[in-house]
Amino acid sequence: MNTPPAPTTHLPAGFHLWWAVSTLHAAGSSMLAFALIWLATGHGPAAVALVSTVSVLPSLCLLLLGGALGDRHGPRSLLVATTLAQLAVLLGLLVLVGDDPGLAGLAAAAGALSVISAFQQPAAIVFPRLLITREEQFSRALARISGSTHIARILGVSFGGIAISVWPLAALLAVCAFLAGLSLVVLTALRPSAPTPPREGRPTGLWHALCDGFRSAHALRSWPLLAAVALVCAAVLPVVAVVLPSAARAQGWSGSEAGLLEAAWATGTLTVTLLVSFVGTVRAQHRALIGGPLLMMAALAALALSFAAPLALPTMLGASALLGVGTAVFTTHIAPMLLRRAPAGQMMRFQSLMAIVQLAPPALLNSPLAALAGSGHASLALLLAAALAGSAALLIAADSRATVSQGTAPAPPPAPRAATRGPS
């Protein structure tokens, strides 16, 4: 008797090419982002708050529009356009900013790149899904991309801390421009293996498309999960981006020493992400979704103690790595859960919602937490972040009990049918 062929386990060559190039691109972006924040710390806490806010706020305002445009035109087309725009902006900054950017130049660079990221980020998350041939490969592909992103963060932040001590900002802008050009070349050569998600009937206005995305998220009861993501991001992203660098500067650390703290966090996230890519997620996912924030809470409390009574650097690096472990335990379980809920024609709008709940907390908290850390109150900022992580664990626990009491998980909305008339 003939047995059916085993499912394909190897990811396609096109995915691996994009995986490699996007990892390099992410490393360059992390390097430049750290360099901008580190240069801003030389102008005081208010400058850190300004640069960190303008690096987030434009993306926050434009992400939903970016997701709607991506669903309309396809992720590959939008990626080509945004990568070309990014290359042009980097080359323009290279000419205009020069070796001594000043605070205005730092803010302009952060803001311009944030605008492009709003349109690029949703498409960059969805595009790899079109490069795989089978749905069962999706979790492994997502874990590999997540893992390589953390490798890029480790290398980018570590190299950025060293490079900004010996190189001018113009040199880092040139490196990032080269990596953007390389990404553009690969994008023009790649062709998706999977079909582009179907559009929802006849084209409608962007506002109507955005409302459809919100209605689907409400029908799928995704808001408690998205709120938990927001709390986790509120606990970890401002700490990694502004609290740790500002506290390190206040204690007289060098840029390379400050970069080690973020690199330790990225190492913790990478370790868990690679483990999940080999063994998969745990079956009782709510335990990981609760346990991850609890680990984060413990790590943040340990860092608060470390800055209150300065401890040895290895101890602080261990606490930062534990923060990364808790972050990855949470994200590796919640990201596939949310992406699988997205209707086929609304994938990038769902990704935009996820990105917004990740970016909104830094936009709101970067300024006050940077002010606390820069004025010698880093421990208080870290304790506030620990409380936010604990709140995420409580929210997931409450939502898990509600789901069990309802008996069944929410069913996705029906697939959209071809429109027979215009939008009402």
Burial 216-249 (b: 16+ CB within 10 A, else e): bbeebebeebbbbbbbbbbbbbbbbbbbbbbbbb
Query: Is the model's pLDDT at 398 over the cut of 90?
Result: no
Confidence of residue 11 (pLDDT cuts 50, 70, 90): confident
- CA dist., res. 284 & res. 8, Å (int): 27
* Residue-level pLDDT at 204: 47
Lowest mean pLDDT among 30-39, 187-196, 243-252, 255-264: 187-196
Query: Is the model's pLDDT at 410 over the cut of 50?
Result: no
Which structure tokens are listed for 61? 């305002």
Digit-coded pLDDT (tens) for 209-241:
455 555 555 555 667 788 898 999 999 988 988
Neighbour count for residue 403 (Cβ, 10 Å): 15
Confidence of residue 291 (pLDDT cuts 50, 70, 90): very high
* Residue-level pLDDT at 331: 85
Highest mean pLDDT among 40-49, 273-282, 292-301: 292-301
Domains and CATH numbers, the chain: 13-194+212-406 (1.20.1250.20)
* Residue-level pLDDT at 319: 92
Alpha helices in 190-254 (DSSP H): 206-219, 223-238, 244-250
Query: Is the model's pLDDT at 154 over the cut of 90?
Result: no
Lowest mean pLDDT among 164-178, 184-198, 286-300, 335-349: 335-349
What does the mean pLDDT of the chain come to?
A: 77
Stated length of the chain: 424
Residue among 151, 140, 199 nearest 15 (CA): 140
Residue among 176, 151, 180 nearest 163 (CA): 176
- CA dist., res. 33 & res. 146, Å (int): 18
pTM: 0.64
